[in-house]
Amino acid sequence: MTVEELLLELKDIQPPQEPGWWLVAPAYWIAILFLLGIAACIWLILRHRKANRLASLADQELQRIRSLYISNEDTRWLAIELSKWLKQVSILAYPARQVESLSGKGWLEFLDESLGNKGFSDGIGRVFGNTIYSRQVNLEAVHLVQLCEQWLSAIKPLLRQRGND
């Protein structure tokens, strides 16, 4: 065969088809999935922190009241501050109810209902009824703060739910 015959037998080179968009190097897929995983973790952490924010703030305020009581030892002041704290946290935890208008026996029954026992109506929490406004308030401060801590523990799921809204 001559060179001319060989050249006639040659056919044009067919270029390969363009690769699809999905044909990305596996390292890129791994990097993309890794970044998506990091973004999902950050989102979950931020959501968790936001959900726990109200409960954490309520707990911090209770600890602040406790530490101020330790320095001034004024039981009347402690009772008034805890009463205000209970009302504020109740309004946050139960936005659909008219908590701010409750007082006296109705307020104590509401606190008992949210706690799950009669610690406010029949226990040391009676002071949050109308006796809180008398000149002399005799109470066991440690037990009163513990009752408030129990109440906060009982309503923390509601505060976390409100934090997610």
According to the model, what pLDDT value does residue 36 have?
96
Model confidence band, residue 132 (pLDDT cutoffs 50, 70, 90): low
Q: What is the pLDDT of residues 11-54, one digit of tens each?
A: 888 888 877 666 677 788 889 999 999 999 999 998 888 778 88
For 93, counting Cβ atoms within 10 Å of its Cβ (0-12 exposed, 13-18 middle, 19+ buried), the class is buried
Q: What is the pLDDT of residue 164?
A: 66
What pLDDT score was predicted for residue 33? 93
110-137 average pLDDT score: 78
How far apart are the C-alpha atoms of 43 and 51, rounded to whole Å?
12
Residue 84 scores a pLDDT above 70: yes
Average pLDDT over residues 43-70: 87
Residue 55, pLDDT score: 84
Pick from 136, 147, 152: nearest CA to 52: 152
* The predicted structure's pLDDT at residue 37: 96
Cα 138 versus chain centre, distance: 35
The pLDDT tens digits for 134-149 are 666 677 888 888 888 9
